[in-house]
A and B are shown apart, each in its own frame.
Chain A
Amino acid sequence: MADVAQLPGVLEQIRLVAGLRWRILRNGLRRKNNQWDLIGIIVASVFASFFVIGLCFAFSFGAYTFLSGGHETWMAFLFWGIFIFWQLVPVFTAGFGASFEFRNMLRFPLSLPAFYAIGLAYGLADFPAVASICWLTAMIIGATVANPTLLPAMLLICGLFLLMNVTLGRMIGSWLERVLARRRSREIFFALFILFAVSVQFLNPILQRYGRSTLPWVKHLLPYLSVFPPSLAGQAIAGAAQNHFSDLLIGVAGISAYALLFSVFLWMRFATQYRGEELSETAAPARTTLRPVSRSDQQSGDALRLLTPQVAAVLRKEFRYLTRNSFAFFLLIMPPVFVLLFTTQFAGRHPTATRHPVSTEFFFPGMMAYLILILMAPAYNCFAYDGKGIQTFFTCPVSFRELFLGKNLLQASMLVFELTLSMLAFSYLVGLPSLPLLVATLAAVVFNVAGQFAIANWSSLSFPRKLNFGQMRGQRQSGMAAVVSFGAQLLAWGISAPILFMGRWTGDKWLPAEVFAFLAAAAIAGYISSLDPLAALAEKKKETIIEALSR
């Protein structure tokens, strides 16, 4: 019979969890590809230190000024700042993926109270929690310097506030862990995140237009905020400073009640986890039924009958991948939205445009260049989402010529769709440029896209980097692919810009269109002739490509 070891204490277990998190981070940086992460972490740490220390001074100075200047009730603003930071930052960073799932601790012999205690301690190790604790400490110092008799009240209120925040943070965190364990909800989360990021861009124009009219509504809502923990904490400190001890008691009771309520919910959540919770989304076996062949399946290929079966198969697969990759799919929304935004801000005759809007003759080619810049970027690592499926490409009796044609065709179709959409928005808002410039710009687009496809295909073979669906953490393109992409775009538009202005200098408005038509034809010929050498290169580099994408 094997010996059974004594269980370590809760504190020892907390120390072990902290050590585990550190080792996961450290070992993750050992990979050659993650050396840039290390530099990134060092740079981010320096910035984060400046951020935290700088705000420590701000919170300390704020507490001192409010309490010594007779604005005790303003202390609530400081608590609100900490509360919002502590609770919102982890929510926004949750989707970037956790490197360590807390519920994995359940495989070890922990009691439920120990699991709960470790869960709370785990919540205190996050950056927002550490920063908030620093700021609360700074507030205590500032308040004590302003009024030494407030020290006990500050310690009590800040301690309760900390307990309430860490409990609430862990409660939200553990629910997020449950929700984001499912692929579909992760993707919806990313979609919402991107939509939020896009929506924020419109905040400034909306505030400029409607800001004043919403102010009374905001003022009307403000009193209702007093029942929330940060306001209660502010009121309690103000009460203690003004010797209104009933306010202090109400604040203490209120924050304690919140902490208790969140503790009960967190306990229930952890108890569910502790009993064992199935988060897997693997399809369960079910009774087999014969599935009739759908007519749509048979007919869907008709539109692609002009292509070879292999190119059509790749095109169809790429389209399915695009529609199922919420992150990439929603990124398609952004370019037309930004065209809309920039156009309303800087160009034409729209009422929200600046006083001296940019001429359409300049703005239209600029916008097209911007769209190409954004939309061509994924082409420089076009196997990124294929993952282990890349092996299928290599085991099938198909040349990479067909694969590139299929992939590039979809990318080109997407470009045509996006450019058409943007041009419609553009023409509605500010009108199209003159015909010679319009034709020249479109020919320049063909020249750029065809030329860039050849370079992008080479980059995809030379610097492959796997990207995962529904995940944002660590999802970076290869550094070299980014450099190649940027360099190719610079080169392409460096050639294009002088040609576009050639008409203005020479007085021949159609000259740029003619030059670009020639260049576009040359670029297409170059693209086609690049396919066979690229197929040979793929064969040569297959090991590197499979290794990079099958990781």
Chain B
Amino acid sequence: MTDSAIVTQRLTRRFGNLMAVDGVDLTVAAGQFFGFLGPNGAGKSTTIKMLTGLLAPTSGRAELLGLDFATHAVEVKRQIGVVPEGMGLFERLTGAEYLQFVGRMYGLDRPTTQRRSDELLDFMQLSDRPKTLIADYSHGMQKKLALAAAVIHGPRILFLDEPFEGVDALAAGALKALLGRMTERGVTIFLTSHVLEIVERLCSHVAIIHKGRLVAQGSLEELRAGIAGEEGSKTTLEQIFLSIVGQDGGQRPQLEELSWLT
């Protein structure tokens, strides 16, 4: 057993001339609630895809739970759960059918799959319409189902790409509590979100990626200290984020340009 849940070394992904992820060295300790931040197009989803087997890196390596993804893909996949960018649902199944399908694909026996599926559907408040197809779910319901599918097999690492997008406040509260309890039990959660308040409240450690490069990594306290010295204890994550990704100038749209509107 290793203390690091996720370790990447010079992880790189190139799309033609575009360097989407450029030599990222990332270390996430087991049991951490880890926030992965960056502006649009920074390389967050590409990194998550490489860490979950949806995308092959151009170069570099990713090690999860001490196993090299490239050589132990199936063994790694058994131990991780993923809510990918597009949620990856089979829309012509009902919620229960989808969870049962995923449970069986992870090798759970039928009674266990059935029991966990029912409990998850109830927890996510999705059990009231058992015959409704996923195609007919709202965006928020689909998101909750994708989350349920990601945890049905009891993963040791959970990758969540914008997990709270479109989820109502009630369900989001329950989810946050669930994720908090999972980290207490040693599950590592790797989360991306544009809502910095959520990341600040949930995550103990944060990394910021900008233009494909990792520009900051550490605990919130470390990042605060790095930005504003002793006064940094009052600095919000949004201020840290803006100060880091806005350093190269011209990042924030100038309101003066929209004078006709304001």
Do residues B86 and A289 form an inter-chain contact, with CB atoms below 8 A? no
Closest to B137 in A: A283
Do residues B133 and A324 form an inter-chain contact, with CB atoms below 8 A? yes
> For the complex, what is the distance from the CA of A79 to the CA of B211, rounded to whole Å?
65
Do residues B104 and A312 form an inter-chain contact, with CB atoms below 8 A? yes
Q: Which of A354-397 contact B (CB under 8 A)?
A: 385-392, 394-397
A220 touches B (CB below 8 Å): no
Q: Which of B33-61 contact A (CB under 8 A)?
A: 52-56
Do residues A282 and B128 form an inter-chain contact, with CB atoms below 8 A? no
Do residues B77 and A396 form an inter-chain contact, with CB atoms below 8 A? yes
How many residue pairs link A and B with beta carbons under 8 A? The number is 139
A291 touches B (CB below 8 Å): yes
Do residues B53 and A395 form an inter-chain contact, with CB atoms below 8 A? yes
Which of B24-32, B115-123, B214-222, B235-243 sits within the interface? B115-123
> For the complex, what is the distance from the CA of A388 to the CA of B100, rounded to whole Å?
18
Do residues A394 and B135 form an inter-chain contact, with CB atoms below 8 A? no
Q: Which of B130-157 contact A (CB under 8 A)?
A: 130, 132-133, 135-138, 141, 149
Closest to B81 in A: A395
Which of A221-229, A498-506, A542-550 sits within the interface? A542-550
> For the complex, what is the distance from the CA of A33 to the CA of B49, rounded to whole Å?
25
Do residues A395 and B54 form an inter-chain contact, with CB atoms below 8 A? yes
> For the complex, what is the distance from the CA of A183 to the CA of B138, rounded to whole Å?
14
Do residues A542 and B110 form an inter-chain contact, with CB atoms below 8 A? no
Q: Which of A273-320 contact B (CB under 8 A)?
A: 281-283, 285-291, 293, 297-298, 301, 309-310, 312-314, 316-317, 320
Q: Which residues of B contact A543 (CB under 8 A)?
A: 55-56
Q: Which residues of A contact B56 (CB under 8 A)?
A: 542-543
Do residues B105 and A550 form an inter-chain contact, with CB atoms below 8 A? no
B156 nearest CB across to chain A (Å): 13
A508 touches B (CB below 8 Å): no
> For the complex, what is the distance from the CA of A394 to the CA of B51, rounded to whole Å?
12
Which of B91-99, B192-200, B202-210 sits within the interface? B91-99
Do residues A317 and B101 form an inter-chain contact, with CB atoms below 8 A? yes
Closest to B15 in A: A543
Q: Which residues of A contact B74 (CB under 8 A)?
A: 397-399
B14 touches A (CB below 8 Å): no
A321 touches B (CB below 8 Å): yes
Q: How many residues of B contact A (CB 8 A)?
A: 56
**Given known contacts A288-B125, A388-B87, A282 and B55 CB-to-CB distance under 8 angstroms:** no
Q: Which residues of A contact B149 (CB under 8 A)?
A: 392
Closest to A388 in B: B86
> For the complex, what is the distance from the CA of A314 to the CA of B92, rounded to whole Å?
13
Q: Which residues of A contact B100 (CB under 8 A)?
A: 297, 313
Do residues B130 and A392 form an inter-chain contact, with CB atoms below 8 A? no
Q: Which of A378-430 contact B (CB under 8 A)?
A: 385-392, 394-399
A101 touches B (CB below 8 Å): no
> For the complex, what is the distance from the CA of A291 to the CA of B137, rounded to whole Å?
18
A12 touches B (CB below 8 Å): no
B163 touches A (CB below 8 Å): no
Do residues A309 and B104 form an inter-chain contact, with CB atoms below 8 A? yes
Do residues A310 and B107 form an inter-chain contact, with CB atoms below 8 A? yes
**Given known contacts A283-B141, A399-B74, A291 and B127 CB-to-CB distance under 8 angstroms:** yes
Closest to B54 in A: A394
Do residues B138 and A397 form an inter-chain contact, with CB atoms below 8 A? no
Q: Which residues of A contact B176 (CB under 8 A)?
A: none
Do residues B132 and A397 form an inter-chain contact, with CB atoms below 8 A? no
Q: Which residues of A contact B105 (CB under 8 A)?
A: 309-310, 313-314, 392, 396-398
With A290-B127, A390-B88 known, 13 other A-B pairs at CB within 8 A are: A283-B137, A288-B128, A291-B121, A309-B107, A320-B97, A321-B90, A321-B92, A389-B88, A392-B105, A469-B91, A469-B135, A543-B55, A546-B54
- The 12 listed contacts between A and B (C-beta, < 8 Å) are A183-B136, A288-B127, A313-B100, A316-B101, A317-B97, A388-B91, A389-B90, A391-B84, A392-B90, A395-B52, A396-B77, A546-B54
Which of A's residues lie within 8 Å of B, judged by CB? 2-3, 183, 281-283, 285-291, 293, 297-298, 301, 309-310, 312-314, 316-317, 320-321, 324-325, 385-392, 394-399, 469, 539, 542-543, 546, 550
What 5 A-B pairs come out closest when comparing CB atoms? Answer: A391-B88, A389-B90, A313-B104, A397-B77, A397-B78
